[in-house]
Amino acid sequence: MKDAMQYRQARQRWSTKNRRRNRILTLAAVLCTCGLLFFANRFADEYQIRILNMVAIYITLAVSYNLINGITGQFSLEPNAFVALGAYSSALLTMTPMEKGMNFIIDPCAPWLAQICVPFLPAVIFGGLMAAFFALLMGFPVFRVRGDYLAIVTLGFGEVIRVVANNLQTVTNGPLGLKGIAPYTDLWWTWGLAFVTLFVIIRLVNSSYGRALKAIRENELAAESMGINSFRHKLLAFSMAAFFEGMAGAMLAHLITTISPMLFTFFLTFNLLIIIVLGGLGSLTGSVIAAIAFTWGSELLRAVEEPTDIFGWFTIPGIPGMRMVIFAVILIAAMLFWREGIMGRKEFSWGWLFGLVPGGKQKKSV
């Protein structure tokens, strides 16, 4: 060893020494959130709880979406499709035969489906698996040839899901959609899923697999030449993102209890795109922050679509659809002038936080 001192220092910086402390802190943070949720559950009104649920679902979606778009650098436009898949799967699986009978009034439900009725959790997981399955199916041909077709293939897939949901009367009940889905989803479920998603994806990203994904994003030529199978890793990232998006879709179905093909338009994907861009493409922390800010902000923005009264003097008429125009402008402006977003590609870490506090001696922790 040429320089034992330096070596030891470097070794230490990258070692597991602070893992224990970090783990405890993370656990504490999760418990704090749980405490807040507990209070919210008791004291918040219905509207606030709905927003909190949406925040959790958006966190789940944004973090998964960032895994494929930001971390792996493969531009896809799929979330609305996978959310729809998960929502329909879970809704159909949990409906009792009687509920199905009440829903399918034009054409009866397909016999193979009519008798199926499973509990919530398996249904949610199945929703995720469905999404992951279709992700593999699409990813296989796309990643084999040219990754930049992924965007158009997934965009097309979103349209196909809509077409199928509208036409496959005996399975999806067509344009009427499904009503009276059991309202299983509550704060614990949505936030539970958000935490699981965060846990799994953060662990993956911080592992050797995450390094491989980032290597593919930064320089695919180099990654492949160093023995990384980029095809397989893109498939992994894509299907894992789909899995969590499908589960989030299931949560959504059991939250709003009524779904129809109209619900899963490209608008959902567009929202998520704004979130991950504003948060920073490639930063999971950024996605979480932006998901919270966006859900809240887009509620505020509803104002532009409703008439506004200014001190009772005069009324500005609301412009329906204006919100979407504003969103589009935000996205374009962010790409042109603020490509880094809130976090760039940086992540939150406890070590960083301690570095901010005067006297914190940790320079960098992993």
Q: Which of 107, 148, 299, 306 binds other proteins (CB under 8 A)?
A: 148
Among 145, 300, 310, 357, binds other proteins (CB under 8 A): 145
The verdict on 270 binding other proteins (CB under 8 A) reads: yes
User: Per CB under 8 A, which of residues 159..198 are in contact with other proteins?
Assistant: 159-160, 163-164, 166-167
Q: Which is nearer to other proteins, 73 or 177 (CB)?
A: 73
Q: Within positions 280 to 309, which residues make up the interface with other proteins, using CB under 8 A?
A: 281
Q: CB 44 → other proteins: shortest distance, Å?
A: 32
Closest CA relative to residue 66, chosen from 230, 206, 268, 241: 241
Q: Helix (H, G, I), strand (E, B), or coil: what is residue 359?
A: coil
End-to-end CA distance of the chain: 24
> Which CB, 118 or 151, lies closer to other proteins?
151
Binding to other proteins in span 307-326, by CB under 8 A: 319-322, 324-325
Kindly report the backbone phi and psi dihedral angles of residue 76, in degrees, each rounded to the nearest multiple of 5, phi listed first: -130, 160
Closest CB to other proteins among residues 20, 42: 20
96-135 binders of other proteins (CB under 8 A): none
When asked if residue 75 is in the footprint of other proteins (CB under 8 A), the reply is yes
Task: Round to whole Å and give the CA distance between 194 and 280.
Answer: 19
Tell whether residue 361 is a contact of other proteins (CB under 8 A). no
CB of 26 vs other proteins, minimal distance in Å: 13
Q: How far is CA 262 from the centre of its chain?
A: 20
Residues numbered 208 to 227 that lie near other proteins (CB under 8 A) are 208-209, 211-212, 214-215, 218-219, 221-227
One-letter identity of residue 9:
Q
Cβ nearer to other proteins, comparing 130 with 198 = 198
Q: Could you give the C-alpha distances from 143 to 26, 231, 232, 281, 314, in angstroms and in order?
A: 36, 6, 9, 20, 56
Task: Give Cβ neighbours of residue 22 (< 8 Å, ≥ 6 apart).
Answer: 349, 350, 351, 365
**Closest CB to other proteins among 2 and 42?**
2
175 and 261 in contact (C-beta within 8 Å)? Answer: yes
Beta bridge partners of 316: 308
Contacts (CB under 8 A) with other proteins, residues 8-67: 10-11, 13-16
> 297: Cβ–Cβ under 8 A, 6 or more apart, which residues?
none
Nearer CB in complex with other proteins: 155/182? 155
Question: Which residues is 310 bridged to in the sheet?
Answer: 314
Verify binding: residue 279, other proteins, rule CB under 8 A: no
Residue 120 beta carbon to other proteins: minimum distance, rounded to whole angstroms:
23
Site string (339-358) toward other proteins, x via CB under 8 A:
x-----x-------------
- The minimum distance between CB 81 and other proteins, in angstroms, equals 11
Per the listing, tokens 């399955």 go with 133
Distance of alpha carbon 176 from alpha carbon 109, whole angstroms: 13
- In the complex, least distance from residue 221 CB atom to other proteins, rounded to whole angstroms: 6
Pick between residue 1 and residue 356 the one whose CB is nearest to other proteins: 1
CB neighbour class for 217 (10 Å; exposed up to 12, middle 13-18, buried from 19)? buried
| From candidates 327, 341, 350, 365, binder to other proteins by CB under 8 A | 327
Q: What angle do CA 346, 328, 190 make, to 5 degrees?
A: 60
- Nearest Cα to 84, choosing from 255, 254, 264? 264
From the list 328, 338, 353, 360, which residue makes contact with other proteins (rule: CB under 8 A)?
328
